[in-house]
C-alpha cells in the first residue's frame, strides 16, 4: 500500500537503470506519498497523499 496517491491517482512508473556500459535492468519510481489525516465530507480520514497534492492544498489537513 502507499504506492499511489488517493487524491490525484499518481502511481508507480517503470523504466530502466542504465549503467555506464549501457546494460539495462528494470526499476521503478514511486511517488512520495505520506499517510496523513484529511478532512473528507467533514470527517477525518487517513489517506495516502502525494507531497505535491499536500503542497498545492488539494486536500484539507485534519488536525
- Number of folded domains in the chain? 1
> Which residues constitute the domain of residue 37?
1-63
Q: Which pTM does this prediction carry?
A: 0.79
The answer to whether residues 31 and 50 touch, using CB atoms and an 8 Å cutoff, is: yes
> pLDDT tens track of the chain, all 63 residues?
679 999 999 999 999 999 999 999 999 999 999 999 999 999 999 999 999 999 999 999 998
CATH number, residue 38 = 2.30.170.40
Query: Residue 4 carries which DSSP code?
Result: S
Half-sphere CA count of 41, side-chain side, radius 13 A: 0
Which pLDDT score is estimated for 1? 60
Amino acid at each position: 500500500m502507499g504506492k499511489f496517491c488517493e487524491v490525484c491517482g499518481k502511481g508507480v512508473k517503470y523504466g530502466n537503470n542504465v549503467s555506464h556500459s549501457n546494460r539495462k535492468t528494470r526499476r521503478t519510481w514511486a511517488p512520495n506519498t505520506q499517510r496523513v489525516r484529511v478532512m473528507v465530507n467533514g470527517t477525518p480520514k487517513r489517506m495516502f497523499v502525494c507531497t505535491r497534492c499536500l503542497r498545492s492544498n488539494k486536500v484539507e489537513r485534519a488536525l
